[in-house]
Amino acid sequence: MTLAIDQFLLKFQNDIDQLPTRDCQILQSLSTQISQNIFLTENQSKLLVKILNDNFTYFEKIEKNFKKILEDNLWSQPFRILQKIRKIYVDPVDIKIKIEFTFNKSIKERLSSLNSKINGELLAYGSKSCSLYSVPLSENNIDLLINEFKNYNFEIEEKILNFHQEIKNIRKENPYNFDIFNLKDEKLKKLIEDDAGEITHDNLIMLHDRKIRYQYTINEKIPEKSLKNEIAQRTRNKVFIDNEKFSLEEVFDVVKNLNRFPILMIFEGHEPIKDKKSLDLLTFSMSNSKILGDVGIYFRHPNSAEGNKFNSSIADLSFNKNLSENTKIAAIANNTLPKFMIKTGWIPQTIISFTNNFKNNKASAYFSNVDLLIYYNDKQPLNGDIDVIM
């Protein structure tokens, strides 16, 4: 009896290391999958047959009935049918919009194209077969996602559909409803005034700075060029500031003027010499900007000559205060998120990162709703959803 094609693969799985590297890797992956009792999908079977045909001469030498095996095209069991998943819903745990779907190149490309328009960070999870993305829950993001994927047969949670309908109704009734100087919602106006000050044209800079946080629009521009005005008038929550053009002291002065304390500083975290330079810069700039208050540096380097210099400096500077409501500046290493930071519920008003790698990690996800993240170094981040301060 002729071997089934998948049985042939398992029988000769130890003889495929002579094949081209790419073909070998795919066949090894497929054989491992079958061995784990996860049968092939129809698309995987077509890929397997293609690779076997591409290497026909080699397999014919080790199996005299190889041609008949391909011609008979037998399989030991029916192909596995992938469940088609397409869902958009609100995760009740982290209160974010989740977009879940079985692999689809077109959907992934469309999500990537929305990245520069989304409020906050687009985070990717999931596996090869099932993709999972999350974005902050906001009116803008709901509108973007529904409009982009309404023709993709997504199962959309009723709560999101209701939000979207409400957004459409508000815009239809009053297209200027979200303009800061035409707000009708008294509760929202009170929130803004308590945080940013009076809603008047004399207070444009503060109103510009808070527009991302409260999701309103403001059409009046501030023509005067300055670091403070450019940061306040940013169109996204992330900005890049070249450390060769602007001092950290200047950045701190803007943070003070915009009333954006406390600050979370992100250190590189792997190279003690580099982090010691960043610590020295932080200390110098705080002194010149006359920033007073508790400072906590919540990471240490392993014992070494340079690591000990960094660690001892923290104690010498008294930058080892416990995190509390009095903390003016907190600092962590990239890719770390201390548990006590979550337990205390401490949230910064500004994040300043010495590294462009502060993205797609636990800390960046936890603090993704912070409306001002400054990448402060000498190289501009490669991702495009960032305002560059010139």
381 shares its domain with 233: yes
Q: What is the pTM of this model?
A: 0.65
Residue 356 belongs to domain with CATH number: 3.40.50
Q: Is residue 81 part of a domain?
A: no
274 shares its domain with 373: yes
Q: Is residue 117 part of a domain?
A: yes
What is the full per-residue pLDDT of the chain (390 aa) written as tens digits?
Answer: 678 999 999 998 888 888 999 999 999 999 999 999 989 988 899 999 999 999 999 999 998 899 999 999 999 999 988 778 899 999 987 789 999 998 788 898 888 888 878 877 788 886 666 889 999 888 889 999 999 998 889 999 999 999 999 888 877 776 556 889 988 889 999 999 999 999 999 999 999 999 999 989 999 999 999 999 999 999 999 999 999 999 999 999 999 999 999 999 999 999 999 999 999 999 999 999 999 999 999 999 999 999 999 999 999 999 999 999 999 999 999 989 999 999 998 999 999 999 999 988 889 988 988 999 999 999 998 876 789 997
**Rounded-to-integer distance, Cα 320 and Cα 313, Å:** 10
For residue 48, which of 72, 73, 17 has the smallest C-alpha distance?
73
Domain boundary among 72, 97, 127: 72
Q: Give, as one character, the DSSP assignment of residue 323.
A: P
Q: Is residue 300 part of a domain?
A: yes
Contact in structure between 2 and 69 (CB atoms under 8 Å): yes
48 shares its domain with 164: no
Q: Is residue 302 part of a domain?
A: yes
Kindly state the tokens that stand for 108: 């992934």
Residue range(s) defining the domain that contains residue 42: 5-72
116 shares its domain with 168: yes
194 shares its domain with 235: no
State the angle between helix axes of 305-316 and 272-288 in degrees (0 to 180), rounded to the nearest 10: 20
271 shares its domain with 167: no
Q: Is residue 178 part of a domain?
A: no
237 shares its domain with 321: yes
42 shares its domain with 90: no
Domain boundary among 140, 173, 206: 173
